[in-house]
Amino acid sequence: MGIKQYKPTSAGRRSGMVSDFADCTNPNENKPEKSLLAPKPKKGGRNNQGITCVRFRGGGHKQRYRKIDFKRVRDEVMATVIQVEYDPNRTSRIALIEYPRDDKHEFSRTYILAPNGLKAGDKVISGESDLVEPKPGNCMPLWKVPLGMTIHNIEMIPGKGGQICRSAGCGAVLTAREKEWAQLTMPSGEIRRVSSKCRATIGVVSNAEHMNISIGKAGRMRWKGRKPHNRGTSMNPTDHPLGGGEGRSKGGRNPVSPTGVPAKGGKTRHDRKPGGKAIIRRRPAGPFQNTA
């Protein structure tokens, strides 16, 4: 796992970087499992009424979605890692695992998020029994995970599937347990509690070098479906709250979206949300975040 740089044959090549895919199994030969693929239609940032809800989205390379098993509910059955693959829909790598065939399950293969260090031929298992050891790739409830271990793909509601720490290089630390609650320290510095019945996978998510990749040119963002971002201060006052004025202006207020919602760290969360009660200490405030 690392980053590869090309010879500077052009301005885009000079500053651009790509992953060397060293953590993937035969990256030039392996193909995704057809039974686990689904079509991924393009939305262009629009809702079901055709109204643009997310700006600067559209185009991009054609992709197919990989069905990931975030729940890991097939317990006490040892699975073998077939290969580690690249997934265009996420920053982390995914691992194709195979269970022994039986009559209860239609498919014996599935995708999981690949933790750092997982490779073809390894064994992974999930469940609550003594067969499940705390090693990378194994999934178990938080009441069984030893304190101080780094975990990922963490459930917020028991049985719903992993929702926290799923991107490349992410991992939360299980710091304490008290009665029915487990205390987690998130990568952002936030400390929150979740039910001890929630499941999590041991280890850190793979492809931690993703954050060091330099895009290099605007065309690579267009391949991702990202269009050029136009500044609000360059617009007319009818189009954006920061627009207008004689000459170049600073906008006259904190950065906001066209509808006036704070765009760079401002407080937009409602305290009435039930999830806010589970936060013991919020993440450190950013440069534009309102801490009041």
Residue 203 pLDDT: 97
Residue 102 pLDDT: 77
Residue 292 pLDDT: 45
pLDDT (mean) for 225-250: 93
- Asked whether the predicted pLDDT for residue 42 surpasses 90, the reply is yes
- Asked whether the predicted pLDDT for residue 286 surpasses 90, the reply is no
**3-class SS of residue 4:** strand
pLDDT (mean) for 23-46: 92
pLDDT (mean) for 244-273: 86
pLDDT (mean) for 21-45: 92
Q: Any idea which fold 3-210 has?
A: OB fold (Dihydrolipoamide Acetyltransferase, E2P) (2.40.50)
**3-class SS of residue 194:** strand
Domain boundaries, the chain: 3-210
Strand segments (E) across the chain: 3-5, 17-19, 37-39, 64-66, 79-85, 94-98, 109-113, 123-124, 139-141, 150-152, 154-155, 162-164, 172-178, 181-185, 191-195, 199-202, 279-281
- Provide the sign of the torsion angle of the four alpha carbons 283, 286, 289, 292, taken in this order: positive
Tell me the pLDDT tens digit for each residue of 118-154.
Answer: 999 999 999 999 899 999 999 999 999 999 999 999 9
Check: CB of residue 124 under 8 Å from CB of residue 138: yes
Nearest residue to 37 via CA among 67, 59, 10: 67
> What global pTM score does this model have?
0.89
Check: CB of residue 171 under 8 Å from CB of residue 185: no
% residues pLDDT > 70 (the chain): 95
Residue count (the chain)? 292
Tell me the pLDDT tens digit for each residue of 207-220.
Answer: 999 999 999 999 99
- Calpha distance 164→181 (Å, rounded): 16
Pick from 33-37, 51-55, 202-206: least confident: 51-55
